[in-house]
Amino acid sequence: MCGRYARARYGIDYLIPLASDRDTRWPLLNESAPADTPSWNAAPGSRQPVIYPDGAVRLVHWGYRPAWAVARGLPQMINAKVEKATSSAWAAMWKNGRIIVPADYWYEWKSESDGKQPYAIQAKSGEPMYVAGLTNVRPDTEQCEGDGFVIVTAEAGAGLVDVHDRRPVVFSAKVAREYLDPATSAERAVHLALSAAEPPEAFTWFPVSRKVNRSGPDGPDLVEPLKGDAP
């Protein structure tokens, strides 16, 4: 499960590599930057910037809890397993609700004798990470209770720090553009998530402060590598 990530830049900074030859279709690049700030501890339940197919960055609630989940007493969902793409819960979003969640790190945890140790994972290249996402929130509409976005996760056993965990599906800018494109079919988008995501060798990871274990703390110090055996 991907339950926490970090975004060290402003939304506009993730758009520029994505824009390529689509500048004229993405007018936001020529307007004011979106009203978001970096977050080194983005947690479920918060509003985070996501990129829509029109190139606009919008703040959307991280977490999706449809009426049927409420009726069953189920908690909000924050991830969508890629192998469940054709299920009734996600099929419509794969067709019309694809978004990109911009990030620079995500966190995984490793159980140790004295508690859970968080690790920050980033691209070796230092480039932004374009995480596959899905949402039921349509552009320019009010978000209602239960509306939000989820992060698409790779198949089981794909964790980097914990092999039993699930890592987010991360695309290069080129693949992210195709994933976002409304002309891309749902079937093709699923294929991209299964076969065109960045491989494990594209990432590096290191232990960080256990302050990340709580959703409140924030700041660039959260992604500073631990020195020696510091807790």
Catalytic residues: 2, 108
Q: Phi-psi bin for 19: left (phi > 0), alpha (psi -120 to 50), beta?
A: alpha
Burial status of residue 141 (CB atoms within 10 A of its CB: 0-12, 13-18, 19 or more):
exposed
129 touches 169 (CB < 8 A):
no
The half-sphere exposure of 210 on its side-chain side, counting CA atoms within 13 A, is 10
Comparing CA positions, the residue from 194, 193, 173, 63 lying closest to residue 129 is 173
Q: Which of 166, 175, 181 is nearest to 197 (CA)?
A: 175
User: Residue 57's CB: how many other CB atoms inside 10 A?
Assistant: 22
Query: 102 — phi, psi (to 5°)?
Result: -75, 140
* Pick from 178, 208, 190, 12: nearest CA to 84: 190
CA distances from 156 to 32, 132, 139, 231 (A): 40, 16, 32, 29
